[in-house]
Amino acid sequence: MAETAPKRKKLKPTAFMLRPMAVTLRETINHTRHSPNTVMYPWEKLVVKDGYRGRPGLVMDKCIECGICVRICPTRCIELVEIDLGEKGKVRRPQVNLGRCMICGYCAEYCPKNAMIIAPEYELAAYSREDLIYDPFKLQYEDRPGCHIDIIQVKPEDANNRDIKGFDAKTGKEMKDTPEVEDKKCIGCSKCEKVCPADAVKMVQKGVNEKGKPIKRPQFDEDKCVSCEQCLDNCPKDAIIMKEAK
């Protein structure tokens, strides 16, 4: 025979009404004896811990206008705009549209110079979309510990361990994509040297042509290179390719 489900006990009207009230009264008394878990916001605010991913911030002097933040942004809310920086003249710096920003921190994580940081600010409401566009000056924030995001995080005792993923075990150097030049396509225009934001490209002479003029080819300094691909994007003959790190 099939098993029958046990019958549910019918609650009497008195228990049906008093039992929930008793539970509510008990919880009320317990919470009244303890201090509240909230603060009187906005008059009181909680202390934001280090590493809190708030809005993007900018350290103006560290930026080399490599454009990696623009390239890595998943919502395409960052663009490089030209500003006048006094003694440095006309330079390009990041501008962020916080109306589209998802606060992922990728710009700070991949910035090779730690010019893009995470500012511990979360009150970003505005009355118009224009107010959510932070130009380089409005984007600035104090460079201090706790505002950086490092791609590779290790314990202090493992700082010199070459077996850590992301570093070459033989040389101890960081593994990253590096540019290479195809000799047959290169015309020696030196544009890659001019656009490199890290001064990692130097034109060197490789010989002379039939007319006796020097043949120059770019030489890349892997230690200075930040893998921004500016040389690749600006090459008029597509003679530069990126060699992926293994």
Domain boundaries, the chain: 56-139, 178-243
What would the pLDDT profile of 31-64 be if each residue is shown by its tens digit? 777 777 788 888 988 888 888 889 999 999 999 9
pLDDT number for residue 161? 63
Tell me the pLDDT band of 133, cut-offs 50, 70 and 90: very high
| Of 70, 119, 117, residue with least CA distance to 96 | 70
Backbone angles phi and psi of 38, in degrees to 5: -115, 170
Ramachandran assignment for 160, one of left (phi > 0), alpha (psi -120 to 50 degrees), beta (any other): alpha
3.30.70.3270, 3.40.50.1980, 3.40.30.10, 3.10.450.50: CATH of 178-243: 3.30.70.3270
pLDDT at 31: 78
Candidates 102, 108, 192; CA nearest to 151 is 108
pLDDT above 60 (res 172): no
Q: What is the pLDDT of residue 81?
A: 95
**DSSP classification of residue 129:** S
pLDDT of 72:
93
Instruction: Read off the amino acid at residue 217.
Output: R
Phi, psi of 228 (to 5 degrees): -85, -15
- What integer best gives the mean pLDDT of the chain? 84
For residues 157-179, one letter each, b for 16 or more C-beta atoms within 10 angstroms of the residue's C-beta and e for the rest, the string is: eeeeeeeeeebeeeeeeeeeeeb
**Tell me, what's the pLDDT at 157?**
64
* Residue 184 · residue 168 · CB < 8 Å: no
Output 159 or 27, whichever has higher pLDDT.
Answer: 27
Mean pLDDT score, 60-89 = 92
Give the count of alpha carbons within 13 A of 38, CB side only: 5
Give tens-digit pLDDT for 5-35. Answer: 556 566 566 666 777 888 888 888 887 777 7
Point out the least confidently predicted range of 170-184, 190-204, 226-240: 170-184
The pTM score is 0.72
The pLDDT-based confidence of 155 (bands split at 50, 70, 90) is low
Which of 139-143, 144-148, 200-204 has the weakest average pLDDT? 144-148
Q: Cα–chain-centroid distance for residue 51? A: 12
Tokens matching residue 81: 């705009």
- Collapsed DSSP state (helix, strand, coil) of residue 225: coil
Q: Which CATH architecture has domain 56-139?
A: 2-Layer Sandwich (3.30)
Residue 73 pLDDT more than 80?
Answer: yes
Residue 206: the pLDDT is: 86
Higher pLDDT, 134 or 167: 134
pLDDT at 28: 84
- pLDDT score at 50: 81
Percent of the chain past pLDDT 70, that is, above it, reads 83
**DSSP per-residue codes, 171-190:** T-PBP--EEEE-TTT-----
Residue 168: pLDDT band by 50, 70, 90 thresholds? low
CA distances, 166 to each of 2, 20, 32, 104, 175 (Å): 63, 58, 53, 22, 5
The number of beta carbons lying within 10 Å of the beta carbon of residue 31 is: 11
Residue 112 phi, psi dihedral angles, 5° rounding: -70, -15
Instruction: Tell me the chain's radius of gyration from C-alpha atoms.
Output: 29
Same fold for the domain at 56-139 and the one at 178-243? Answer: yes
